[in-house]
Structure 1
């Protein structure tokens, strides 16, 4: 019995020992895990502290940089203010210079060229002879239609001008059989060049020349005086340097200017306001004849000189030398320097000119019948010859040798139907239309 009890007690002691050992092992394991966790926590705290310190250091650095940046910004603001004031001052001065330049500009001068390099050179040289001293008032351009290499090379060889090139590959279709394509290309070129100068380069006036012209010594002074006149009188559509009846035998006084209902062309100036009106409806061809239509000039008139300020030497061109020998070659190019700045041109204002011209016409002695040329030659002072209609005008004009051509019911150079020329100089001959006296308000003649 005792042995059994001892045996059971030992068994209990063994079980208790095993349980104790197990508990100790679990406790050790738990303590180890806790120690590991505690070590990890300490390490994490250490890392966190280190990162916090770094962050604090970075924040301090950022704050320091912010302070520096604020100081830099303040300095930059001060410098910007100073720079802005300087720029504004420079801009104002630059603007003032541009304004002064614009105010001193009279007109752009453009030479319309195509494929005649030798003609172009002669024209440019003639212009530069007088343009150099007034270059700021009259910027010079060459506008080439097409791609002729010699023309382009010649134009680019001059530093005193700006080169423009019109390239148009669109095929030309004439409206009537047998028409020259050249007249259609010329019209396209003119429109393109005028649009470029008025709208891209923003000029207020443009003087149009062709590549077969020479100019007179007072060409630029003449147009400057005419520009001032155009500003005052909006009934002037354009100013020309040309007189169709400007041949040597028909002119005398280089200081006389006339109003005309006939567009002369051949060296002429127009304004941007006029071009705004013309550009949208510009014709496909024959632009100069188109400008002579009443529906386009609407009663406005043109200023022309008695003695031409341009000379056309272009015997070979799109018009195939038409009229050259008879009408162009004998033209008198003015060779004296007229002081246009001192001239009072107010007599050319529309309201004054009608009275001015009517008075001159009234004082001319009337002649009629046959041999009017002979009768005119035998009378001292100005004379007038009245014509009945276009055929009668052509007959009389043929006798004197002046232009017989009409456009849209108007003879070349005519004002209120009156064509005036010298024959022989200084005598003036007035060819007077059937309605001219009425249009001029002349009664009892």
Structure 2
């Protein structure tokens, strides 16, 4: 039964505590703010393609490659970061990750060669952002909540969209009026500003403050898990022997290809190709962020009540249909059909995350955060492939149309993959100890 604010929580000493608002909600709030601060770096790549192309004469494929390295490392780092959080604690890992993001973004200000873009933005920011990936939200949710997990997952997932909403208009204005360097500095400062909040307010486990998780019974804080890298790989090998893992990973790779890799990276330059000002195109992405918050929180609520398999199938099918229409909607100015696409697509942007996490939890139990980290890695590999392929397609064909159509078709395949994910026959067990 869900725990309310009046529920008595028993501490290990047996003394009742009756917090008016459970501490888990404050932890969720700090996590939300942290993800918002870190989201600034995710808002910038699509705004950098044209300025870097004009200043350094780098091809869009070259710039897309740096973005693809960033996206790939974002995903591949996530499962190791989840294991490191079990070893060293959430607070330490996230604080270090934010510092690395800040340093990587700041160093781009002085770059003069394409390899430096790959090193600073691709590798450093990729590694830091990977530790701030959705596996962070999954770890917080798993530790601090038993009830309302779907809703909290939706809220924390929406934090990234909220960060996009906050930073995109500002960053696009900075790029338009003052160049890309002040925008890179802004990203650096935003990531660094969140570090004190994480260190002072975030806690690793409910037992740290002698509380039970929200909606659950009190449990002692587990001992630190050594061998983080080994555990991450062990969980991967065990999960990879099951069919649901490959269906989840494959569908989520298509999710990444059709969102971060395609729309977030290439929508602004594609709209600019049709004569739309950069600030207007960036504003449309920000509007996607507004409706993404609504769609993701609603998806979390739906996930607590409906089959996550059917939800995923519906989300992917609707996304694919919308992408097939996009090439016909791009124009020099914003018009009602384009606004309809933005609202429709925004509601679906990362609505796939809560049901995907729920399916990982259903199949893989206490190792679900690490398994989701690997599923997220596939998401980012898909995103990286399309970030690079989109830039190459634009260089070769002079248009992005072929990539929009291909992504729409892939979303149809993802919908079918979601429908055939089986239900677990037994209770999930620890994969690391299997």
Q: Same fold (TM over 0.5)?
A: no
Q: Higher strand fraction: Structure 1 or Structure 2?
A: 1
When normalised by structure 1's length, the TM-score is 0.20
Higher gyration radius (CA): 1
Task: Flag the structure with more relative contact order, 1 or 2, with Cα contacts below 8 A and sequence separation at least 6.
Answer: 2
When normalised by structure 2's length, the TM-score is 0.20
